[in-house]
Amino acid sequence: MELSEFIKASLAEDLGDGDHTSQSTIPSSQVGKAHLLVKDDGIVSGLNVAKEIFKTVDPDLILTFFARDGEEIKKGDLLFNVDGKVQSILIAERLVLNCMQRMSGIATTAKKYVDAVAGTNAKILDTRKTTPLLRFLEKEAVRTGGAHNHRFGLYDMILIKDNHVDSAGGIQLALEKAKLYIESKNISIPIEIETRNLEEVKEAVISGIPNRIMFDNFAPELIQKLY
């Protein structure tokens, strides 16, 4: 979903026929200032989303940023100020916080795993086990934390899992069917296959078909036998 569509739908869900609390207690012309303070150390993500949310609610709001997505932040840091109509700030406030808290949490967690494999050739990948309709934001947060996106959905990669292997009749048959499918459709997407034991890994390698082989729930000791 495009960011603009997401913001409009999210605001509509929250706003309904109006922010009756603000409308009843705050004059529409009243202006003020708000700022976002960090409550915990981590990696910030979602500042670009916050900017678009404020602009969508009220283009006249003035934003001043003191950080960039992907930067390390400390408790007490000031991320941004927003000046303008108080009613507009209050409408945007919760959506901004919800998005930034979630995205910064994901980015911070991703960075921990990235740091853990620093100095190696390993890359940290995400999954498509994401929150429905928030995938594009969550995957952006993964990248902000220095990790990498795996596949975005079912359409941009063939990922043959254990159920596919069993239904197709085995590793070799599943891979051959996937290769023929790609050729018949004239599409260019990678093929990955999930393996459950060393025998399946060997079979996948011998086939020469997959672009990537996944070791599903392999113990570290078992993976070491592959090297």
CB 112 within 8 A of CB 100: no
* DSSP letter assigned to residue 153: S
Residue 130 tokens, joined: 């994401």
Q: Which of 102, 128, 143, 161 is catalytic?
A: 161
94 flagged as catalytic: yes
CB 200 within 8 A of CB 171: yes
194 flagged as catalytic: yes
What single string gives the DSSP state of each residue in 78-98?
A: EEEEEEEEHHHHHHHHHHHHH
Q: Which of 5, 60, 72, 216 is catalytic?
A: 216
Q: Which of 13, 129, 185, 221 is catalytic?
A: 129
Q: Which of 138, 140, 194, 200 is catalytic?
A: 194
Q: Which of 75, 94, 123, 202 is catalytic?
A: 94
C-alpha 138/C-alpha 22 separation (Å) is 31
Radius of gyration of the chain (CA): 23
129 flagged as catalytic: yes
161 flagged as catalytic: yes
Which residues are marked as active site?
Answer: 94, 129, 161, 194, 216
